[in-house]
A and B are shown apart, each in its own frame.
Chain A
Amino acid sequence: QSALTQPASASGSPGQSITISCTGSSSDIGGYDYVSWYQQHPGKAPKLMIYDVNNRPSGVSNRFSGSKSGNTASLTISGLQAEDEADYYCSSYTSSRTLVFGGGTKLTVL
């Protein structure tokens, strides 16, 4: 199972919106509404930000939103803040009954 494809890096200024893409195939993202997004700060464990494409767990800011079109999922962060600077990973359930992560996107807040 190949990793999902994410851009290696992204950047934006405080207050701006940014979208990170995650591309897979019909065997994972395209076949299921089971995409999650995680935020990871250096040296810390990942944090669940979005699950099942567009749902936020309790306590996650509504500045974070998710969507999906075909084989590509997206995470949008609106009103960028300095604390949003982190690595972001997507994941998807697959037809092989496994889970696959994206390679990660390093977000820089300028």
Chain B
Amino acid sequence: GAVVSQHPSRVICKSGTSVKIECRSLDFQATTMFWYRQFPKQSLMLMATSNEGSKATYEQGVEKDKFLINHASLTLSTLTVTSAHPEDSSFYICSARASRGSGNTIYFGEGSWLTVV
């Protein structure tokens, strides 16, 4: 099946620094990728929708200047958490839509744990 890979799987950074998370579709082209954040024992919360070659669409309450999303190719989207703070510590998950016949199935990456100290 389709594979979506995220890197790094775990990252620890100092408060005030920036960290980049990559999301790659390994065996298909993804015109649209989605970024989610998940806090412990909570469901996934959509942060933004990333379309290749255009600006990302952010959900209400998500700061676009803090969470920079770049979708420069059909197989790669990146999320950069700028000036990270401890409250940004979370599990970040990306997903990509594979256009395969009916339904446009969406596949998820393994997730990236971010800890800001």
Q: Do A and B form a real pair?
A: no
Q: Give chain A's interface residues, CB within 8 Å of chain B.
A: none
